[in-house]
Amino acid sequence: MSKLLAAFSLLCVSILTLFPSIEAFAEEPAPEVLEEVVVTATKTPVPVSQLTSAVEVIKGEELERKRIKTVIDALRLVQGISVMAGGGPGAESPANVRIRGAGTTHTLVVIDGTIVNSPTTGAFDFSSLTTDNIERIEILRGAQSMIWGSDAIGGVIHIITKKGTGTPTGSAFAEYGSFATLREGMQSSGANGPIDYSVSLSRWDTSSFSAANFRRGATERDPFHNWQGSARFGLKLPNDARLNFNARWWSSVINFDATNADVFGSKAKNKSVILSGSYDQALTTWWSHTITVAQDNERNHSQGGSFQRDLSTGAFGPAFAFTSDLESWSRRIEWQHNFQVAKPLLLTAGYQFREDQANSPSLGADPRILSSHAGFAQAQVNYDRFLLTGGVRQDSYSAFGDATTYRTTAGYLIPETGTKFRGSYATGFRAPTINFLFFPMFSNPNLLPEKSQSADAGIDQKFMNDRLQLSVGYFWNRFRNLIVADPMTFIPQNVGLAKSQGWETGLTYAVFQNLDLRAQYTYTLTRDLTNGTRLPRWPVDQASAGLSYLPVQSIRVNVDYRFAGARYNFPANVGKLGSFGVVNFSATYDVTKQWQIFGRIDNLFDQQYEEVLTFGTPIRSVYGGVKFTY
């Protein structure tokens, strides 16, 4: 804790000493900007000032400005989120994200309306997802099963692709750097009449990173290759209607290592195709509807290595030989209606069909399908200073029956002081996955869904003509019927019970027009109520801070600091990992209106640390490139 406070103090003092005084800028009028709108919290557009949920938004401009390659690197800086995924680019650790003390399978991940959580493991592996063509990432913390269904016990991460606007433009870039990294890509977007589009294509190769920590003696290097494409097309139709089509695709290959072992010859291939289409229409002045059709198709092929080297003893021996071939599909159809009954009251009702399917020829198992039907209803009240939201959902599954969830939120605005009080209470559930229900010899067809209760309360405060914004909140979660594998038979059972609680604080400060400061701190207490231990890989203290500075119009400098406290790698508080703090630096220089030079240094001070026990993390890494816009 003392390291954390010292780092924050040093950063804040360093920034403030650059300027004569904060008061000197206190009376400057804030630049006029359109208020941000969030869709994920209610599945309807809501201005940020009227949100009664805990939400954070990462904009595509920020990802581009900081030259952040992957979505998981961006999420490392967000409050309430824990990202512990060692092994380097494309690592098969796997790369999962957890929210507010929940598990890796309790975060629902949505890409342009498509649910991308694995039908077999229940989690989404972020390792191959780059930031190409992303307009915004909306992070919704707390149980959200009422509006989103299964897997949203901890929260929702919604990734939204850019929408083309204005005169068609294009760009291309190339980058080279540490670990023999080479990236190149192109992007184009624009609008013409009723049609708009945004497309991108990129390639990423690296060959000199060891998945197992080289400081433990790993000598073999594990290459990573990734192709990624993204497209969004929109068409305006008569009678206030709109048709949208989204596609994202990637194909990656990586060599991987095992826990505490340098494995030679292991390889994993992954291909994902994510498709979605939606039709929106305003039927009357008070009634609109949206139909969404989405599918995620994932193919994984893995093979074990020929031999391995134990990093503790240095001894060589045979590696675990296996071949895995898996293909899965996740499909969703949803029809949502919105009724503006009166000015302060918006009613939403909808139906959802969801189907998960998996097939593994290498196991000799028959294809398995898990399907569900759901209906949901929600009311939003915006009456003067009072904000209320309430809803209920009923899910009916083919394998285990029904699940009912509900959620209510409330807020109170004080415009005179720029204050908003907010709070929520919700229930959540997570359906057993295909692996848990049908995996040969290690499954349990009698499993029930995992369930949760979630509550939070917070205050958002604005100062200095909205240039300084502070937020503080408390959260509490209780998880029951958690699915845990029996240590003797490895058959899953509904025996887990856990809780989490803590505090989240955030700050954004436009010091003046060309200097922005952002910081957050999360305090999380977790407890496995079956044995009294902390939950694995959950640090009590987490924080991040960053600044973006424009010293002259053509140069921008960004510095980000991330801190994670000590934690345990395994259940029962085994495998302790120490705290760490990492600083990343990036800069861009606009040589002309068309040409830009950019650079990035990750782990600027060469911190030695592990996010996951025995797996590698970057040493000081330097990257540079050029971008051309036309």
pLDDT digits (tens, 9 = 90+) for 25-45: 333 444 445 678 999 999 999
Q: Which of 306-315, 350-359, 455-464, 561-570 has the lowest mean pLDDT?
A: 306-315
Q: Which residues pair with 205 in a beta bridge?
A: 182, 225
- Determine what percent of the chain is predicted with pLDDT higher than 90: 84
> Quick check: 457 and 423 in contact, CB under 8 A?
yes
pLDDT category of residue 69 using cuts at 50, 70 and 90:
very high
Pick the CATH number of 2-629 from 2.60.120.330, 3.40.50.10490, 2.40.170.20, 1.20.1260.10: 2.40.170.20
User: pLDDT tens for residues 143-171?
Assistant: 999 999 999 999 999 999 999 999 999 99
At 514 the pLDDT is: 92
Q: Which residue has the higher pLDDT, 614 or 90?
A: 614
Q: Which of 102-116, 191-205, 354-368, 513-527 has the lowest mean pLDDT?
A: 354-368
Reading the block at residue 152, the tokens are: 């949203």
72 pLDDT higher than 80: yes
Reading the block at residue 168, the tokens are: 């068609």
Q: How many angstroms separate the CA atoms of 391 and 405, rounded?
A: 9
Task: Give the torsion through C-alpha atoms of 569, 574, 578, 580, to 10 deg.
Answer: 10
At 28 the pLDDT is: 40
Whose structure tokens read 């072992």? Answer: 261
Provide the 10 A C-beta neighbour count for residue 141.
28
User: pLDDT tens for residues 528-569?
Assistant: 999 999 999 999 999 999 999 999 999 999 999 999 999 999
Q: How many angstroms separate the CA atoms of 473 and 166, rounded?
A: 39
Q: How many angstroms separate the CA atoms of 210 and 263, rounded?
A: 10
DSSP H stretches of helix in 95-144: none
Cis peptide before 539 (omega within 30 of 0): no
Angle 366-367-369 (CA atoms, 0-180°, nearest 5)? 130
Long-range Cβ contact pairs of 411-419 (< 8 A, separation 24 or more) = 411/50, 411/51, 411/52, 411/386, 411/387, 412/385, 412/386, 412/387, 413/49, 413/50, 413/385, 413/387, 414/385, 415/385, 417/461, 418/461, 418/462, 418/463, 418/466, 419/459, 419/460, 419/461, 419/462
Whose structure tokens read 């000015």? Answer: 343
The average confidence (pLDDT) of the chain is: 91
- Determine what percent of the chain is predicted with pLDDT higher than 70: 94
At 15 the pLDDT is: 35
pLDDT category of residue 320 using cuts at 50, 70 and 90:
confident
Tell me which amino acid residue 472 is: V
Rounded average pLDDT over 453-458: 97
At 92 the pLDDT is: 61
Residues 6 or more apart whose CB falls under 8 angstroms from that of 23 comprise none
DSSP 8-state secondary structure symbol assigned to residue 32: P
Rounded average pLDDT over 488-495: 91
Provide the 10 A C-beta neighbour count for residue 432.
26
At 464 the pLDDT is: 93
Rounded average pLDDT over 473-493: 93
pLDDT category of residue 488 using cuts at 50, 70 and 90:
confident
> Quick check: 175 and 181 in contact, CB under 8 A?
yes
At 361 the pLDDT is: 79
Q: How many angstroms separate the CA atoms of 238 and 240, rounded?
A: 6
Q: How many angstroms separate the CA atoms of 21 and 614, rounded?
A: 47
Q: What is the DSSP string of 311-330?
A: TTT--EEE----EEEEEEEE
3-state secondary structure of 181: strand
Q: Which residue has the higher pLDDT, 362 or 552?
A: 552
- CA-closest candidate to residue 455, choices 409, 491, 414: 409
pLDDT category of residue 14 using cuts at 50, 70 and 90:
very low
Reading the block at residue 243, the tokens are: 């048709």
20 pLDDT higher than 60: no
At 94 the pLDDT is: 63
User: pLDDT tens for residues 264-316?
Assistant: 999 999 999 999 999 999 999 999 999 999 999 999 999 998 899 999 999 99
User: pLDDT tens for residues 576-620?
Assistant: 999 999 999 999 999 999 999 999 999 999 999 999 999 999 999
Q: Where are the domains of the chain?
A: 2-629
**Cα→Cα distances 536→3, 153, 504, 525, 613, Å:** 22, 18, 20, 12, 11
pLDDT category of residue 4 using cuts at 50, 70 and 90:
very low
Q: How many angstroms separate the CA atoms of 127 and 269, rounded?
A: 12
Q: Which residues pair with 598 in a beta bridge?
A: 588, 625
User: pLDDT tens for residues 440-454?
Assistant: 888 999 999 999 999
DSSP 8-state secondary structure symbol assigned to residue 180: T
pLDDT category of residue 18 using cuts at 50, 70 and 90:
very low
At 225 the pLDDT is: 96
Segment holding 12, helix H or strand E: helix 2-16
Helices and strands of the chain, counted as H and E runs: 5, 36
Rounded average pLDDT over 212-236: 95
> Quick check: 246 and 275 in contact, CB under 8 A?
yes
User: pLDDT tens for residues 100-146?
Assistant: 999 999 999 999 999 999 999 999 999 999 999 999 999 999 999 99
Rounded average pLDDT over 372-393: 96
Rounded average pLDDT over 341-354: 95
Q: Which of 106-110, 183-187, 512-516 has the lowest mean pLDDT?
A: 512-516
